[in-house]
Amino acid sequence: MEIKILHEFVLLSKTLNFTKAAQKMNITQPVLSRHMKYLEEYFEASFFKRDTHKVELTTAGKFFSEEAGKILFQYETSVSAIQSFTGKSRRRLAITFLGEAIQKFLITFLTQFRAKHSDIAIECRDSELDEALSLLNNHTSDIGFLIRPNFMANESRFCTLPFQTDPLCVVVNKCHPLAGRGSVSLREVSEWPIMRIDPREFSLSDEYSTRFLTIHNIDFTLDKEYPNLKTCCFNLEFTDRAVLLMPRHRKYLIGQNCVMQDIVEEDCWFNLELVWDNKNTNPSVATFLREFKTFLKQ
């Protein structure tokens, strides 16, 4: 059994979407489906329940997902240990990051880092949060640059270093009654139907939008749910009866018929943070962390 098939299974078990998982692994959906069928035949067990609307893990699938993660972790740990013992330690660092919020900052830092450590090969990969955490967990990526709601608890197995914040904002059509206000409260936002990403497409849709209302004990109603944030913004161009919550750095998605307003509550923001696993034995991680902390002090 090839180790890459276990990587594919673990990613698919997180996304529960064959199309998205195949795209992120740079393979076709038929190839991914064939690999998953191979696993099920190999273990003589069914790992997925599939219908026309969704994909779910069976009980065996959930168990195998946990075990596959352990296997991948041990594999990466053993490879690192062997390379260290033979004097051929990897001078490689794999980084996963969450798109536009991180990109400009990361480019600035990596330009300096590579100038000082040209012997370390840097590999960068843009990803979504659930995929990034999976990559960090199985050490496919060594370092993660993530953006998460400030109320989201850190996973105990990871170390984190927050370095910037990005405020929550609301977007409305220019003909909406809230337009032109400059700033509005969450309670005012809740008086209107809220657009958001379909949780079937992005499992953390609630955490990145409507959960901010929930933690303030504010009731709300949903408008329509769309496959991604870009589609939400597009449809907001044609309605003045809905609102959309999103981080400020995604403002570039807004069309000419919409405006972004600040949220007056001061406890609504996203953390931009560096994330890593202390159990990762790649020696380049320590070098990267040391240089990054120095960079933040400049």
pLDDT per residue rounded down to tens, the chain (298 residues) = 678 888 888 888 888 888 888 887 778 888 899 999 999 999 999 999 987 778 899 999 999 988 888 887 777 667 666 766 676 555 789 999 987 778 878 888 988 888 888 878 888 888 878 788 888 888 889 999 999 999 988 777 899 999 999 999 999 999 999 998 889 999 999 999 999 999 988 888 999 999 999 999 999 999 999 999 999 999 999 999 999 999 999 999 999 999 999 999 999 999 999 999 888 888 899 999 999 999 998 7
CATH topology of domain 3-73: Arc Repressor Mutant, subunit A (1.10.10)
What's the CATH number of domain 167-268, 3.40.190.10, 3.30.70.100, 2.60.40.10, 3.40.50.1220? 3.40.190.10
* pTM: predicted TM-score of the whole model, two decimal places: 0.67
Can you give the three-state secondary structure of the chain, one letter per residue? CCHHHHHHHHHHHHHCCHHHHHHHCCCCHHHHHHHHHHHHHHHCCCCEEECCCCEEECHHHHHHHHHHHHHHHHHHHHHHHHHHHCCCCCCEEEEEECHHHHHHHHHHHHHHHHHHCCCCEEEEEECCHHHHHHHHHCCCCCEEEEEEECCCCCCCCCEEEEEEEEEEEEEEECCCCCCCCCEECHHHHCCCCEEEECCCCCCCCCCCCCHHHHCCCCCCCEEEEECCHHHHHHHHCCCCCCEEEEEHHHHHHCCCCEEEEEECCCCCEEEEEEEECCCCCCHHHHHHHHHHHHHHCC
Q: List where CATH 3.40.190.10 sits in the chain.
A: 87-164+271-296, 167-268
CATH 1.10.10.10 domain span(s) along the chain: 3-73
Q: Find out if CATH 3.40.50.800 is the number for domain 87-164+271-296.
A: no
